[in-house]
């Protein structure tokens, strides 16, 4: 295991990117940080800039106007990084499939930028905070 | 020759650490003072009204509950009321009570969420953690009743999908008592806190005249001394049977809006408890076999204000037009009145004070933003006519006259 990968697994700092979600996944993401689930005790922390982040939490379908910014945010994130696609929309556009302003699925957009991106899927509408925590644990133990 | 200097513009967004959603504000500043504000939106536009036309009447509630995750009970309710307006059906009384309970629980968790985020915005994370801790029992109750913490999918045309079992009543009442005690404590703590007074009083004032001029709704205007509320003015579900008051505060600043929301939580808890106690027996849905041609409107008081749905049916199994007007659509422009003249540090909390929800609001996308061509209604209509003429020319269709039909 390279030094970079080893260090990625400790205290994952996350940047939250909403690319056209209904707010539900976003609330649940914030919910993870509040007293009931409190993931900050494991070193998982929301940060204000993608340059500080080890992982991107992407929610939403990926609208035409948002994916341009998503590509830029992915380029700015320090590599290696993990991309978590939170919710049914991010995993495969969900109920908004076929909408005229939907450019997703988000995983294809990220693969266009970087074919070797590490992408993890957390399905659900919205996924419960337990599911997100379980997703993080699975990815970190698989790396 | 007089030289003009360009005024400095401060960009907030589209991905701002304080914002859950994408939104982009350009603040024109003069030193510390904001002199103008411009909002660029539609990052979150998903074309819901158009997708709705491809779904069947029964499937649309699941779509509109995803207009906004925090109003996921009010949007389907307004839609279902619009369709019931077309059919002319009255849902059974128990269904009306179940709808009321779900909507009030939603208001409780939404307002608590706002209070928490407001604390976070002014750097007071204790309030953030407290409020979000106290809203958890409400989410657990909603999960127990409907099967999901958010996006309940509980209403359908003619009634409700899931019932509140009578065995669950004592548990709901007990949990709500617990939440009420905690909320009372939080309200007293917030109203007593000198830091919050210093930070929120006199900030972002939206005067009564401005509130009327911008046609704002919900807690935003109730904080400016206008006591309007769809639940009171045009009662739906079981609100007419319940004993409650519309909360309003005259000051119009962020503090008044906070007080309105906190007191509304207590009022909503009271209403939810009353509705659970009064819950009548009987079926929870009337069967609706077909939707006749016609048009209908539905209104509901979402946590952020009045949400309005218009549905037109041609007798088929899909709506041929579905129009949504969400509360933030009228609340967001009121920033022009409340933010200008404020300090930069106070603008974030003023922007947050109307509890803006951009996933609700964004009903139009700028199609060609990079060349700065903004397509308004007239140009879109013109483009549509040109396209029709072009296609006609290509396929050689005959000229269509109104007199022929």
Considering only alpha carbons, which residue of chain A is nearest residue B361? A22
Report the number of distinct structural domains present in chain A.
Answer: 1
* In a domain? residue B105: yes
Q: Do B44 and A66 touch (CB under 8 A)?
A: yes
In which residue are the tokens 């946590």 written? B303
* In a domain? residue B104: yes
* In a domain? residue B268: yes
Widest Cα–Cα separation across chain B: 82
Q: Are A96 and A57 in contact, with CB atoms under 8 Å apart?
A: no
Q: Dig out the tokens for B39 from the structure.
A: 């909002």
Q: How far apart are the first and last CA of chain A?
A: 9
**Alpha-carbon torsion, ordered B140, B143, B145, B148, to 10 deg:** 160
Specify the pLDDT at position A10: 86
What does the pLDDT average to over A20-44?
A: 90
Domain containing B120 — which CATH number? 1.10.645.10
Is A140 buried (19+), middle (13-18) or exposed (0-12) by CB count in 10 A?
middle
Q: Which of residues 38 through 97 in chain A touch B, CB cutoff 8 A?
A: 46-49, 60-61, 63-66, 69, 73, 95-96
Q: Are B329 and B357 in contact, with CB atoms under 8 Å apart?
A: no
Nearest to A95 among B44, B66, B369 (CB): B66
Specify the pLDDT at position B115: 92
Is A127 in the B-facing interface, judged by CB distances under 8 Å? Answer: no
Per DSSP, the residues of B250-268 read SS-SHHHHHHHHHHHHHHH
| pLDDT above 90: percentage of residues in chain A | 54
What does the pLDDT average to over A50-63?
A: 92
Q: Which domain holds residue B238?
A: 48-330+357-361
Domain containing A23 — which CATH number? 3.40.50.12280
Rounded Cα gap, residues B260 and B264, in angstroms: 6
pLDDT tens digits along A107-117: 999 999 999 99
User: Percentages helix, strand, coil for chain A, rounded to the nearest 5?
Assistant: 45, 15, 35
In which residue are the tokens 């750097």 written? B123
Specify the pLDDT at position B3: 59
Q: Please name which of A104, A100, A62, A95 lies closest in space to residue B60, comparing C-alpha atoms.
A: A95
Q: Which domain holds residue A51?
A: 3-142
* In a domain? residue B338: no
Specify the pLDDT at position B241: 92
* In a domain? residue B6: no
Angstrom CA distances, B274 to B106, B229, B267, B269, B385, stand at 16, 19, 11, 9, 56
Specify the pLDDT at position B368: 56
Specify the pLDDT at position A8: 85
**Alpha-carbon torsion, ordered B49, B102, B168, B181, to 10 deg:** 140
Q: Which of residues 112 through 151 in chain B touch A, CB cutoff 8 A?
A: 113, 116, 128-129, 132-133, 136, 148-151
The DSSP bridge partners found for residue A17 are: A58
Q: Has residue A11 got a pLDDT over 70?
A: yes
What does the pLDDT average to over A83-91?
A: 93
Q: Which of residues 10 through 29 in chain A touch B, CB cutoff 8 A?
A: 16-28
Q: Do B20 and A25 touch (CB under 8 A)?
A: no
Nearest to A22 among B51, B67, B132 (CB): B67
Q: Where are the beta strands (DSSP E) in B162-241?
A: none
B366 to chain A: which residues are within 8 Å by CB? Answer: 65
Is B20 in the A-facing interface, judged by CB distances under 8 Å? Answer: yes
In which residue are the tokens 């069947």 written? B56
Q: What is the mean pLDDT of chain A?
A: 90
Report the number of distinct structural domains present in chain B.
Answer: 1
Rounded Cα gap, residues B224 and B214, in angstroms: 12
Rounded Cα gap, residues A97 and A103, in angstroms: 10
pLDDT along chain B (405 residues), means of 10: 71 77 86 87 86 93 90 93 94 94 94 92 89 93 91 91 92 95 91 87 91 92 93 92 93 92 95 94 92 94 93 92 90 89 87 80 61 68 81 72 59
């Amino acid at each position: 295991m390279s030094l970079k990968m080893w260090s990625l697994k400790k205290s994952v700092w996350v940047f939250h990117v909403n690319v056209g979600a209904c707010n539900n996944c976003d609330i649940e993401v914030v919910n993870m940080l509040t007293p009931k689930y409190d993931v900050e005790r494991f070193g998982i922390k929301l940060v204000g800039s993608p340059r500080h982040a080890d992982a991107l939490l992407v929610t939403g379908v990926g609208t035409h106007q948002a994916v341009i910014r998503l590509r830029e945010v992915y380029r700015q994130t320090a590599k290696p990084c993990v991309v978590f696609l939170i919710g049914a929309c991010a995993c495969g556009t969900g109920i908004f499939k076929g909408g005229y302003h939907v450019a997703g699925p988000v995983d294809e957009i990220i693969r266009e930028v970087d074919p070797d991106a590490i992408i993890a899927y957390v399905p659900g509408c919205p996924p419960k905070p337990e599911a997100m925590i379980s997703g993080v644990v699975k990815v970190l133990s698989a790396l | 020759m007089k030289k003009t200097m360009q005024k400095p513009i401060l960009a907030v967004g589209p991905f701002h650490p304080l914002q859950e959603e994408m939104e982009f504000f350009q603040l024109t500043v003069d030193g510390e003072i904001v002199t103008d504000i411009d909002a660029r939106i539609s990052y979150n536009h998903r074309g819901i009204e158009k997708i709705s036309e491809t779904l069947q009447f029964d499937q649309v509630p699941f779509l509109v509950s995803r207009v906004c995750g925090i109003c996921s009970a009010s949007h389907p309710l307004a839609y279902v009321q619009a369709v019931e307006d077309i059919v002319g059906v009255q849902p059974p009384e128990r269904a009306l009570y179940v709808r009321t309970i779900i909507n009030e629980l939603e208001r409780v968790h939404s307002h608590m969420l706002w209070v928490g985020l407001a604390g976070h915005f002014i750097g007071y994370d204790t309030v953030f953690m407290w409020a979000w801790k106290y809203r958890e029992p409400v989410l657990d109750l909603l999960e127990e009743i409907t099967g999901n913490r958010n996006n309940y999918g509980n209403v359908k045309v003619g009634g409700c999908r899931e019932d509140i079992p009578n065995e669950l009543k004592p548990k709901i009442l007990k949990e709500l008592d617990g939440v009420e005690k905690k909320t009372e404590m939080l309200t007293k703590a917030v109203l007593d806190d000198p830091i919050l007074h210093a930070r929120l009083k006199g900030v972002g004032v939206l005067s009564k005249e401005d509130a009327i001029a911008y046609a704002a709704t919900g807690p935003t205007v109730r904080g400016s001394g206008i006591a309007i509320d769809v639940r009171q003015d045009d009662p739906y579900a079981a609100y007419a049977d319940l004993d409650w008051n519309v909360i309003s505060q005259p000051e119009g600043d962020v503090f008044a809006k906070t007080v309105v929301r906190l007191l509304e939580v207590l009022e909503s808890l009271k209403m939810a408890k009353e509705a659970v106690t009064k819950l009548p027996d009987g079926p929870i849905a009337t069967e609706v076999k077909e939707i006749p041609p016609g048009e209908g409107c539905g209104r509901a008081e979402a946590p952020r204000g009045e949400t309005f749905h218009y549905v037109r049916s041609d007798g088929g199994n899909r709506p041929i037009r579905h129009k949504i007007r969400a509360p933030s659509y009228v609340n967001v422009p009121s920033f022009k009145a409340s933010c200008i003249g404020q300090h930069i540090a106070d603008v974030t909390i003023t922007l947050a004070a109307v509890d803006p929800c951009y996933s609700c609001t964004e009903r139009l996308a700028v199609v060609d933003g990079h060349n700065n061509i903004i397509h308004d209604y007239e140009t879109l209509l013109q483009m549509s006519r040109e396209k029709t003429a072009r296609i006609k020319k290509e396929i050689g269709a005959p000229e269509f006259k109104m007199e022929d039909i």
